[in-house]
Structure 1
Amino acid sequence: MSEHQDGPDRRHRRPDGVSDKTVEALGSLSKALETTERARGHLYSFHQLTGGADLELDRAVRLLREAGHPEWADKVQSEILGRNVIPGHWTFQVVEAYDDTYYRPFRDLERSAVDELAEGRDHLYEAEMKEARRTAGHPDHSAVPGATEW
């Protein structure tokens, strides 16, 4: 049996003097940021899907012309192809505005809160939840990667 870690590693242990409420609050802040990360991913999906659709319009315009419908080809080309998704913005500009206005300030604030209130230790709420739910001695419930407890 190799030596094992009893509990989370140092970077996932609550610093002295950090209250339950602080750990819970930082956990909630982190969860909100994680949700924002997912929203940002959807925004990039929106960006890529809209761009792909716009590129496919080139084919639609060509096929409408080949099919003998130049008026419809002209209409698609002038009305939709390259159109702004909101006034003055293509999707890349929406992504940039989101990043500048919301995402980066949120990410930076969350990092500052963890640094100041928990000595930079991330995921304390989750680490404590893991510790409470572990089955001591079970090899698939080890506290840290690489630890064996049988």
Structure 2
Amino acid sequence: MKNTTPGDRLRQLRKHLNLTQLAFSEEIGMTHGNLSKIEKNQIAMTKAFLKALKLRFSCNPHWIETGKGEMFISPEEYIADGIKYLGIPKYGEGLLKVLNDPQFAELRSMIMIGEKATGEIDPELMSYLCYILNKWQQGDEDIRGWLKIQLDSQKRGSE
């Protein structure tokens, strides 16, 4: 797909997100007609429009305007923006809720392991460590017992 104009890149973004013009325009709170005109380069994008794209879709405004860089902002920039917009107390509160949600147990485990690890951890080992941590945190006594037996036998074997 050509992406020589901002409108072309906006269309590319929308299609990448698998959204129709109508669905996309509703997501950012603008009329379908104006979105169509922007995609056709009939009207210019405003700073507010570019900010809406960044906030809603993590789209890189510089990429939309110039075609340079990545289509999406980095995770670090997204997190930093969240902290700026919400403030540390609100962002921290939300982050804690997310990390305590069982759906994100693997992320929580990776963070816990990362805090204790020095240097690079082999991805396969990281996967095993996350699995063991998740199972341990689930509190199932049978699984905990089995893990203890496995780890104790390994420890005795290495002494």
Normalised TM-score (structure 2): 0.22
Give the structure with higher Rg (CA).
1
Normalised TM-score (structure 1): 0.23
Higher share in helix: 2
Higher relative contact order, chain-length normalized (CA < 8 Å, sep 6+): 1
